[in-house]
Amino acid sequence: MEEDTRVYLGNQNNVIHPSQFNQTSADLMNSLAHEAVSSSNFFAAEDVNFTTVTRLYGLVQCTPDIVSSECCICLAACVSEIRKYCNGKEGGRISKPSCNLRFEIYPFYSMASHPPPPPATSTSKIGKHLHLPLLGLSDSYASDQCRSLHEPRVLLMHARFFFLYIEHFRYPK
């Protein structure tokens, strides 16, 4: 499990009640980490009430090339870094090569209600082409992902999680 490369992105906006928000976000991320580690696809997403008018959305995932215990270690490290890098922010993202987490006060994901049809196969000698529709990603997802992240290892890491995200919704387990 590789842990060297890290990306920390905090939302630019501060919350009104930072200590309450920090506790709610830590509780949500810990809960999601436990859920992801015990799932077959190392993925979990959920939203909870922060206030009567504000919801908190969270998502965690690990890559499928690691085992459950490594996923647990990786996500626990990410959760422990929330206060350090995203303290009092309306959202944040911590990404490592083998896992990542994200939380925001706006929906940045959508759960598929039913799986899409399987991709069409091609018998052409040129090769198979798979058309991947955007699956509930928010408009800000692409711009957030590309914001001054030009290091090849970081771009590769984000591409890896993007395709895991697509795979999760195309072929749920």
Average pLDDT over residues 69-83: 94
The CA distance from 173 to 167, in Å, is 10
90 part of a folded domain: yes
Higher pLDDT, 11 or 5: 11
Give me the DSSP letters along 97-163: TTEEEEEESS------SSPPPPPPP---TT---------S--HHHHHHHHTT---HHHHHHHHHHHH
99 part of a folded domain: yes
User: DSSP letter at 113?
Assistant: S
Amino acid at position 36, single letter:
A
Whether 29 and 79 have beta carbons less than 8 Å apart is answered as yes
pLDDT value for 113: 56
Whether 105 and 50 have beta carbons less than 8 Å apart is answered as yes
Band of the pLDDT at 153, cuts 50, 70, 90? very low
User: DSSP letter at 77?
Assistant: H
The CA distance from 63 to 84, in Å, is 24
Write the pLDDT tens digit of every residue in 106-148: 999 987 655 555 555 444 444 333 333 333 333 343 334 333 3
The CA distance from 106 to 54, in Å, is 8
Amino acid at position 87, single letter:
N
- We report the CATH number of the domain holding residue 142 as 3.30.430.20
Q: How many domains does the chain have?
A: 1
Least confident interval from 8-17, 27-36, 55-64, 120-129? 120-129
Q: How high is the mean pLDDT of the chain? A: 75
125 part of a folded domain: no
Amino acid at position 116, single letter:
P
15 part of a folded domain: yes
123 part of a folded domain: no
Q: What is the CA radius of gyration of the chain?
A: 17
Whether 84 and 9 have beta carbons less than 8 Å apart is answered as no
Distances (CA, A) of 11 to 29, 80, 87: 16, 17, 10
120 part of a folded domain: no
> The domain containing residue 48 runs over which residues?
7-111+130-170
54 part of a folded domain: yes
116 part of a folded domain: no
pLDDT value for 130: 32
User: Three-class SS of residue 47?
Assistant: strand
